[in-house]
Amino acid sequence: MELKTELVEALKKIGFVTATETQALSIPVGLKGNDVIVRAKTGTGKTGAFLIPIMQMMQHEHSIRALVIVPTRELAIQVSSVSAKLGSHMNIRTVTVYGGASINVQTDLIRKGANIVVGTPGRIIDLAERGVLNLDNIKFLVLDEADTMFDMGFIEDIDYIISKLPYERQTMLFSATMPRAILDIARHHMKEDYKKIEVGKEEEITVTTINHNYFIAQGRAKFSALLAYIEEYKPKKAIIFARTQHGSELIYRVLKSNGVDAILLHGGLTQAKRERSLFSFKSGVQFMIATNVASRGLDIADVTDVINFDAPETPYVYVHRVGRSARMGKEGRAFTLVSNDEKGLIRQIEFDAGIELKNIRLSLDKYKDIELPAHHQHERRFGGPRQFDNRHGQHHGQHGQHGQHGPHGGGNRGPRRQHRGYSGDFRRNRENR
């Protein structure tokens, strides 16, 4: 690809030696300066596919020249980490911006000098409105995990940010799926001669190297089944998905009380605790219990199993949860616990994703008398704020939906603004985005 020597050396240092299919198709197009829209499955090297052309074409300047917009804090940190390593030999500085962290610290970092800014939509807008983030000289725009941003309600934010950018720029859009909203963005915000790259067939929503299994259980039996699965299948490294923050904490306590090494990741934790959890999981902790905050955009190597303690709401969510395993062509397993009322979801997943889920057998005898945490039993008896529904194995209550819609907790799906005259209340509410 005739890349700069400094860039090649940086690529070698982080282990990028051979291009993935996504990179091999996308990088040459990016290097020509074309606008490009890329549909490729999660875990196929999309971060390198847009960072490498940017690094190659970026001149040594003091202004911000590239803006990478991502849906979550975790993905912003991940992309920034790769960007910092690639730019280390070329004096290219990357700054990460996202809600839930000090805006003053991020302001100071930008003012010290930045060439690439990676961030979430709400914080990018805040910094731009404060006059800290100058968008006048942006030459490269990247929308990463674009379909997730639309699902989280960020489409108006994206439109607003793009409206503030120079017309003469290169736009690169990356997405695991290609809904109509993606094509609308391309039609309205890209040059007419933009290139479209698709890796794999459209119907191949999930990687074919995953073995998909499920087991029917509800109420207390779900915990028994989880422990039985862990004992029988012995996952080396697994993410366990819960529907709610409270649910994830309950699973955590049950696993710990049964001698299983685990950590938590959900939107109710502080950013520092979330980063510590991710570091621990990457460094060797066997199980991570998470809400959907972890279902997209996290590049965690060697995840062998994805366990859906709570069945995902839709086939779309299932696909992106199980995409945490079988990264970069490796094999993986997906295991889902479903209640009798959720059997129809299995058929729907099989139809929409073009896969087969096998109903496996598990012996629950060893764990049939499993004890749940004492305060949980108390809440069930006295009708506390979060009650356990034995019919569906779900947790309910005024805080029960936190974590369901990504990293910011339930209900905070993204902006709902009617106009651009932001009020003080809206600005405060947007701080965590």
One-letter identity of residue 298? L
* The token pair that represents 193 in the structure block: 């001669």
The tens digit of pLDDT for each residue in 262-301 reads: 999 887 788 788 888 888 998 889 999 988 765 555 667 7
Is residue 83 predicted with pLDDT exceeding 80?
Answer: yes
Q: Domain extents for the chain?
A: 5-198, 210-396
Alpha carbon distance 76, 119 (integer Å):
6
44 vs 402: CA distance, rounded Å: 30
Is 302 buried (19+), middle (13-18) or exposed (0-12) by CB count in 10 A?
Answer: exposed
Domains 5-198 and 210-396 alike in fold: yes
Mean pLDDT (whole number) for 35-62: 89
Q: What is the pLDDT of residue 297?
A: 54
DSSP characters for 138-207? --EEEE-SHHHHHHTT-HHHHHHHHHTS-SS-EEEEEESS--HHHHHHHHHHS-TT-EEEE-S-TT--S-
Spelled out in words, what is the top-level CATH class assigned to the domain 210-396?
alpha beta
The yes-or-no verdict on residue 384 having pLDDT over 70 is: no
Pairing of strands 262-265, 170-175: unpaired
Residue 118 pLDDT more than 70?
yes
Whether 188 has a pLDDT exceeding 80, the answer reads yes
Give me the chain's average pLDDT, please. 81
Options 3.30.540.10, 3.40.50.300, 1.20.1540.10, 3.40.50.720; CATH of 5-198: 3.40.50.300
